[in-house]
Amino acid sequence: MSANERTLSVEQPLATAWNQTRVGAFLSQPISWVFLIVGGIIAFLSLYPTIFLFYGSLVNAPLGVPGHFTLQNYVKAYGDSEAYPLLLNSFIFGLGASGLSVVFALALAWITIRTNAPFRRLFELTAIIPNILPPILVAISWVMLLNPSNGLINGLFVKFFGMEKGPFNIYSIPGLIFVEALILTPLAFLIIAAALKSMDPSLEESAKTLGSGELGVMSRITFPLMRPAILAAATLNFVRAVESFDTPAIIALPARIEVFTTKIWREALGSFPTNHNLAAAYGVGILLVALLFVYLYRRFTSQVENFSTVTGKGFRPHQIDLGGWKYLASAVAFLLLVLLVVLPILVLLLVAILPYYHVPTWETWKHLTLDHFRYIWVTPRVHKAFGNSMLLALLGATICMVLASLASYITVRTKIAGRGLIEGLIFIPWAFPGTALALGLLWAYIDFPIPVYATIWIILIAYVTRFLPYGMRAVSSTIIQVHRELEEASVACGAGFMATFRRVLIPMMRPGVMAGWIILVTIFMREFSATLFLYSPGSEPLGPLMYFLYLDGMRGRVAAIGLVISVISVILIAFAQRYSRWETK
């Protein structure tokens, strides 16, 4: 079909009387239909369980039981003066962990993507591994390394430097921030790396031509251009840190540091029986804070054109020659990866071959065992869980990224009224504490007309609902950088919305889409907090299986499964990264 024919086919319907109304004009645009369909799906996914939770926060009885309207849950949650110092602790913890994770991620992403540092491809591949490991295992690994009594690293200092006691104490605010930052770094890395891959270095080159040194280029050009991605990563990680319970439970509790989630746990989720109404009231508070951050994020990124760095001029990012400094860059990346990957994986490997969990001594080497790996090999339940998790990870991540790409396009690129609503909607379920949301999902889908409860599909719905924001952030930080002129050129050549989206935007967004897909696959392979309430024995994925083994004191088996998941995920990531590179287009 020629461009003229296309124009005609668009103009003809415009002539009808129906289309002369405002609604008609709106509906005549293909993008409007996309908006309605995507918006409808997202609104349903996020509002349906959320309404149950909001309702729960305003009544005095659990769902399914007749109750009365009350504000008592809010009075109890926020009328307690003890809560506010804890909020400050949470804020310091969230800010510290998120800031440090972004610094680590930025350094690692810049070195691996934009420089000619040796081994950069290997570093890039391994940087995502910590995202695969259950956070609780990472925290436990660091306790084993840095606890003041018999932490392995502290032990080395005592042995080789003749110190009286080791210099590190994991049970402190810096310890807590450090470990959480390491847990959060892969997510920040993926978002920032995706944006760096899409960035045209011509501005950097111009600055260099005008006499700027490498440091000047970095501080004045590269990092300001990276601002949307950095802010996206920082926003996501801040909220993730503030709502995390695993690391505080393992590190803050023995250190007697209280954060807000500790309080939520004590008063609501960990109380007996669980006070879901109070948990929902706390959830609403966290939701408001999260929405405030989304608003701030949108303000930061509102001047979209300022960040457009991928233009239609045919540039591709290329490596910066660091000269002799490239070895130093590799050393920095290597050091970060030792902290992020090597040490925790070594500890996990050790736990996987120890007969029971302990700090190894010379005696230990005689008792090493492969029993935990044998358990994986011979147990049909584990095989089935692997199958279920693979299905959920691949299908769930793909559905999420399709939705996230369309939603990002609508929110970032179009002027459709109500586009901001989509972003707000996506963030709602994410802002609730995991267990509270899982309960909302259970309440929402247990009596759903389509019988999804107790099937694997309810888990899929839960994953898409809860983790869509991760995909959304990864794509939108890339889409912001794609200049409009490419789309405009496509439209000028007569392509419709779907053709432009498929032929121009998707290839341009590919690094972001693949980064998001990788994040989601790695999370879905091990997710348990939402899954736990929703799976039934026939549809058990790996997350709950690992959780039960952990609950039963089988750390060796958990570590062994964690390592096997890591290997599978690395293979998936390697394929995804190969596909996401510009060069392979």
In the complex, which residues of this chain contact another protein (CB under 8 A)?
Answer: 62-65, 143-144, 147, 149-150, 249-250, 253-254, 256, 258, 262, 265-266, 270-274, 276, 355-359, 367, 439, 442-443, 446-447, 453-454, 532-533, 536-538, 548-549, 551-555
Residue 494, SS3 per DSSP: coil
Q: CB nearer to another protein: give 382 or 426.
A: 382
Give min distance, CB of 247 to another protein, in A: 12
Give min distance, CB of 117 to another protein, in A: 38
Neighbouring CB atoms inside 10 A of 445's CB total 22
**C-alpha span between 239 and 293 (Å, rounded):** 8
Q: Which residues contact residue 444 at a Cβ distance below 8 angstroms, ignoring those fewer than 6 apart?
A: 48, 49, 51, 52
Q: CB nearer to another protein: give 150 or 306.
A: 150
Give min distance, CB of 71 to another protein, in A: 19
Give min distance, CB of 383 to another protein, in A: 15
Give min distance, CB of 47 to another protein, in A: 19
Torsion sign across C-alpha atoms 429, 433, 439, 442? positive
Q: CB nearer to another protein: give 262 or 580.
A: 262
Give min distance, CB of 43 to another protein, in A: 23
The residue whose two tokens read 């950088």 is: 481
Q: CB nearer to another protein: give 306 or 536.
A: 536
**C-alpha span between 300 and 224 (Å, rounded):** 12
If you count them, how many residues does the chain have? 585
**C-alpha span between 317 and 319 (Å, rounded):** 7
**C-alpha span between 117 and 523 (Å, rounded):** 29
Give min distance, CB of 150 to another protein, in A: 6
Give min distance, CB of 569 to another protein, in A: 25
Q: Per-residue b/e over 375-400, b at no fewer than 16 CB within 10 Å?
A: bbeeeeebebbbebbbbbbbbbbebb
Q: CB nearer to another protein: give 156 or 571.
A: 156
Q: CB nearer to another protein: give 521 or 549.
A: 549
**C-alpha span between 509 and 496 (Å, rounded):** 18
Give min distance, CB of 361 to another protein, in A: 9
Q: CB nearer to another protein: give 436 or 460.
A: 436
Q: CB nearer to another protein: give 176 or 519.
A: 176
**C-alpha span between 368 and 556 (Å, rounded):** 11
Q: CB nearer to another protein: give 68 or 256.
A: 256
Q: How many helices (H) and strands (E) does the chain have?
A: 31, 0
Q: CB nearer to another protein: give 442 or 518.
A: 442
Give min distance, CB of 546 to another protein, in A: 12
Neighbouring CB atoms inside 10 A of 185's CB total 29
3-state SS track over 24-66: HHHHCCHHHHHHHHHHHHHHHHHHHHHHHHHHHHCECCCCCCC
How far are the Cα atoms of 348, 370, 373 from residue 563, in angstroms, in the given order?
7, 13, 10
Would you call 307 exposed, middle or buried from its count of C-beta atoms within 10 A (0-12, 13-18, 19+)? Answer: buried
